[in-house]
Chain A
Amino acid sequence: MARSTKPKGAPPFVLIATAFAGVLVLVAGALIGLAFRDSAKGVAGNPLAISVGGKFDLVDQNGKPFTDADLQGKWQLVFFGYTHCPDVCPTALNDLSLALDQLGADKSKVGIVFISVDPDRDTPAVLKSYVESFGGPIEALTGSPAAVAQAAKDYRVFYAKHPRADGGYDMDHSALIYVMDPKGRFTATFTPDDDADAITKRLKKLVG
């Protein structure tokens, strides 16, 4: 039925133009895809073209200043969270610590950076005892609300207080783990769904 029905009311040149436009869109899509094919993967060790990371000025769990310059010289796994987080944050920090252990000799090439999105409660002292429980080489950072906001902006991290009925609050926060190369360039991401084995496997490709 549809095959034998001639389109009515649409002059042929409109049809041709439409078809041509369609082809153009496809070609453009393919070209854009090709252009981003390598950079978008990020597993080959090439820094991603997207801008993630930047200048920040925070303090570590010992109260010492820690800036973006301190990230350089090592691969860094950057994760934003907070110590009152009972589920995703301990899971991620534990997975990262385990993954580093599984790297063997390459372990010394990688650091973990945990940046608190809850500076009101996460003081350096709170962070210190918290991250010591995970066994990994974790730098735990906090700072003034403005300094934390700056770091979060650099990494395109969203966070917001969500009030609880009892007057307390939880934090909503982006839960991606950012892999930065030793020059401080954004290279790949892990998600909370990646377990330690998956993280180890990809890290071996990156740092090995």
Chain B
Amino acid sequence: MRFKQLALGAGLMLFSTAAALAQSGDIEIKNAWARATPGGAQTAAAYVTIEAPSGDRLTGVSTPAAQKADIHSMTMDNGVMKMRQLDGLDLPAGKEVTLKPGGYHIMLTGLAKPLEAGQSFPLTLNFAKAGAQQVTVSVQKVGAMGPGGGEAGNSMSMPGMTMPMHH
């Protein structure tokens, strides 16, 4: 009985390792960042850039930093800001999808503790094909507009940054 459990455990571990290895080349995740939370705020937004060379779908998110993590869209509809929870986010093959302020974000609800600039926390992204992938989210200043920590107002001119540009 004991041996069976061990064998099963080891088998599962091997299987998941093999699966992770097979998947690691299938998806690229970078620039995982979040903003420090203003005092007392119980929600935060995290952002990430994902590229799935052969296409995939982000189906869910989780983190020990918050009770809940959801994929959200943010749209402006006739001057009205609307956030909506999404079941998932399609990642077209070979196209970089950037979650960023003013667009898609990962909504963190029920923060375990406030997010402070300079800290980091793990975030697990679940993909339909690539499975669970963990990234480290670095926390930037309250007003950061990108993973480099650039503040709104001067970050627009920072080179190499993916920014929301609706102008």
Contacts and interface: CB of A to CB of B under 8 A. Distances in A.
A98 interface: yes
B143 A197 contact: no
A84 B72 CA distance: 14
Most B CB contacts (10 A, CB to CB) among A97, A125, A200 go to A97
A35 B131 CA distance: 61
| Shortest 6 CB-CB contacts between residues of A and residues of B | A196-B153, A94-B143, A129-B39, A133-B38, A86-B45, A129-B40
Interface string B74-95: 1010011111110000000000
A193 B81 CA distance: 12
A84 B38 contact: no
Interface residues of B, number: 38
A9 interface: no
Interface stretch (B3-11, B12-20, B52-60, B103-111): B103-111
A162 B82 contact: yes
Contacts, number: 115
Nearest to A193: B166
A166 B110 CA distance: 12
A191 B68 CA distance: 30
Nearest to B167: A193
B83 A170 contact: yes
Interface in A74-125: 83-88, 90-91, 93-95, 97-99, 102, 125
B142 interface: yes
Interface stretch (A19-27, A36-44, A173-181): A173-181
Nearest to B67: A166
6 contacts: A84-B41, A87-B83, A91-B101, A98-B152, A129-B38, A162-B83
Nearest to B145: A91
Contact of A90 (B68, B70, B84, B142): B142
A133 to B, nearest CB: 4
Contact of B42 (A84, A102, A133, A166): A84
